[in-house]
Chain A
Amino acid sequence: MENSQSNGPVLEAVGVGISSALPRRVKIIGVDWTVRPGEFWVVGGANGSGKTDLLMTVAGLHRAAAGTVRLFGRAVTEMTEAEISRQRGRLGFVFKGGGRMFTDLTVAENVALALCYHRNCALEQVREEVHELLERIELAPFALQTAQTLGSDWQQRVGLARALALKPEALLLDEPGAGLEARHRQWWKDYLTRLAGGNSSEGSRLTIIVTTNEFAPWRGGNRRYALIEHGHWRVLAESAKDLEIE
Chain B
Amino acid sequence: MRRNRAYRTYSDYVGSRLLGLLENLRGMGALLLITATVAVTKFKTAKQVVHPLVRQQMRRAGFQLLPMVCFLAFALGMVVIGQTVMILNRFGAQNYIGTVMVTVVVRELGPILAAMLVLARVGTANVVELGTARACGEVEALEALGIDPIHYLVVPRVAGMALAIYSLTVYFILFALLSGFLFTFLEGIPLLPGQYFQQLADSLIWQDFVLLALKTICFGTFIAIVTCFEGLAQPLALEGVSRATGKAVAKCVVGVVLLDALFIIVYLVV
Contact = CB atoms under 8 A, between A and B. Distances in A.
Contact of B143 (A61, A101, A118, A121): A61
B45 A61 contact: no
Interface in B134-184: 136-138, 140-141, 143-148, 152
Given A56-B140, A100-B137, A100-B138, A120 B146 contact: no
Interface string A41-78: 00000000000000010010100000000000000000
A157 to B, nearest CB: 15
B237 A22 contact: yes
A86 B45 CA distance: 14
Given A22-B235, A61-B140, A166 B147 contact: no
A100 B147 CA distance: 15
Interface string A169-194: 00000000000000000000000000
Interface residues of B, number: 20
Interface in B14-59: 44-49
A113 B47 contact: no
A55 B139 CA distance: 16
Q: Which of B143, B145, B148 has the most CB of A within 10 A?
A: B145
A1 B141 contact: no
Given A95-B137, A100-B138, A114 B145 contact: yes
Interface residues of A, number: 30
Contacts of A218: none
Interface string A85-101: 11011010101000111
Interface of B: 44-49, 136-138, 140-141, 143-148, 152, 235, 237
22 contacts: A81-B148, A86-B146, A88-B145, A89-B145, A89-B146, A91-B144, A95-B137, A99-B141, A100-B138, A100-B140, A101-B141, A103-B138, A113-B145, A113-B147, A114-B147, A116-B49, A117-B46, A117-B145, A120-B44, A122-B48, A163-B144, A166-B146
